[in-house]
Structure 1
């Protein structure tokens, strides 16, 4: 990882994003901390891996997400230059709920309830925008580095998100999501519906309070959150809680104690110093006004490929 970070240190994509160090990886490629020379702040960027049809389809979906909410991390820009294609989003440095549970085991009822409330608030915004996330799981629930303060959750990774009940983004009988967190009907290839995300919330909640992944989860234990978890894990979607707002109302009626949970540290640390050359400094100064025609050519090429991929995926004929 460090050797890769060294190779990318001097890379500025499309005259805007200077890649600093790799901080993770995902289904589409690697995730990097970067410096946005236009806004002069640090951001996270996803660097696409091999640009096959499936990766480009995920890119098209994710870059189109424009949900702005305190508990959502959605892309706020993208750029392309030569063989590099990146998505830019807020940098979240506290790890994920998966890290929290792996390191500390079951969370206290108050902390689990607070995280679930924030998750449901974020999902209400996502569903209100007409989207289904389809991959709600602890690894995609990012945490701000709040130290000794209350945790702050943000939903990330919208690579497989889709419009509600949209056949164009669903492959039958293939299942889209992560085993163990998918609702039964989602695993059978059903059209995207918000209740599928709510089932996943139930699995996440059970993992928070037991410390166990879905493969080891059994019945819901006696717990202050049990009434909510049971209503979320109903196999029949028609009997499951129908909306994130309904789940929120039930959650807020439960007698939960105050959060006692573990602190959420900054897992990334300070950014590494960028190795800047006279050329890179000149590019930084001109980023707001210079037109990088090479970058635009790459963008045009990418759009052409994306359109072709969409035609293949959606069955269109030029």
Structure 2
């Protein structure tokens, strides 16, 4: 059942009226009331059942369309690879990875992929649940910071979702605000959904990208990804730590107009302490952020579950002391794992005018 005003969805049939605003619930939302930009694809029926109603978003290599599922009369979102990128190296592989990841995951905080298909001209598409709300990226561009009482549930739900992915052997590798959807009215999210496993990596499989090539979003990229070393679940821990910093401080821990300089700072520079940038942040919260942002993966939270546990302790939902505790002493310097990544690291040290360490 749906509320046509706040767009909340209720799985049970106990409610006749929305408990939040009193609006009478309906079995399915009116697709015609949803905003979408008309395009040449409008009216096209995909897979014999999904009637495209218009464009609702776009990314680097794909477009998102609103569609009506003729079998259920419910709205769905269709992610379609842009035809311009159909022959781009790795583009189809990213789409296939996202579909494979979706089939391996079932979690309330991960967007559901309902179906997959291919247009007659070979363009692949994913059919996903339609979400009502906005991305965390949209929120932060409007509000700059998120209050702690809203931020912690968003972060803990995200950590729970990523933990489930990690247990299935999947590393997201592109955790960022634009890949996090806040379900509900703007300003009042009540659920969080992790989006876009297009850069995800099955830990037991070989990466599709070339060795030594960094993939991801520079502002949220951990040191091991910067130099092309192997990513694991702790890489997502780092990215979520950057996101926590951005949500609570109102700025990124590392910034630069030049992407190479930005990546160099991710690899080498210590972050400014959150409480220095935003005095209202308490020491316990700061400790959790800084543990997630350690350069050495072994000094971060060892699992996303451990990160989630500390977030729940900050919320008062879990007893015990924070596992963040005291940060390890000594320099926090990432050590590249092979000759190729050491060469990449030397480039970034030189970019900051620094002498690289004498790695073994």
**TM-score bracket relative to the smaller structure:** 0.7 to 0.9
Q: CA deviation at 1:165?
A: 5.7
The answer as to whether partners of 1:28 and 1:58 remain within 8 angstroms in 2 is no
Q: Distance in 2 between matches of 1:93 and 1:21?
A: 16
TM-score after normalising by structure 2: 0.67
Q: CA deviation at 1:146?
A: 4.2
Q: CA deviation at 1:176?
A: 1.1
The question of 1:237 aligning with 2:237 is answered no
Q: CA deviation at 1:48?
A: 1.1
Q: CA deviation at 1:28?
A: 2.7
Q: Which has the higher contact order (CA 8 A, sep 6+)?
A: 1
Deviations 1:49-91 (A, max 9, x none): 1311421111111111221111101422111222242111111
The answer as to whether partners of 1:181 and 1:214 remain within 8 angstroms in 2 is no
Q: Distance in 2 between matches of 1:158 and 1:255?
A: 28
Q: Distance in 1 between matches of 2:112 and 2:302?
A: 24
Q: CA deviation at 1:108?
A: 1.1
The question of 1:136 aligning with 2:175 is answered yes
Q: Give the match for residue 247 of structure 1.
A: 307
The answer as to whether partners of 1:166 and 1:192 remain within 8 angstroms in 2 is no
The answer as to whether partners of 1:165 and 1:193 remain within 8 angstroms in 2 is no
The question of 1:194 aligning with 2:233 is answered yes
The answer as to whether partners of 1:142 and 1:155 remain within 8 angstroms in 2 is yes
Map 1:1-318 onto structure 2 (within 5 A). Answer: 5-50=38-83, 51-52=86-87, 53-65=89-101, 66=103, 67-83=105-121, 84-146=123-185, 150-164=189-203, 166-216=205-255, 218-221=272-275, 222=279, 223-224=281-282, 225-254=285-314
The answer as to whether partners of 1:96 and 1:139 remain within 8 angstroms in 2 is yes
Moved over 6 A (4+): none
Which SS does the other structure have where 1:72 is aligned? Answer: coil
The answer as to whether partners of 2:36 and 2:66 remain within 8 angstroms in 1 is no
Deviations 1:291-316 (A, max 9, x none): xxxxxxxxxxxxxxxxxxxxxxxxxx
Evaluate the alpha carbon distance shift between residue 140 and residue 113 of structure 1 in structure 2; reply closer, same or farther with a 3 A threshold: same
Q: Distance in 1 between matches of 2:41 and 2:287?
A: 49
Corresponding residue pairs, total? 256
Deviations 1:194-224 (A, max 9, x none): 0000000000001101221354473322513
Segments of 5+ residues of structure 2 without an aligned counterpart are 1-34, 256-270, 318-360
Q: Distance in 1 between matches of 2:106 and 2:210?
A: 28
Alpha carbon RMSD of aligned pairs, Å? 2.2
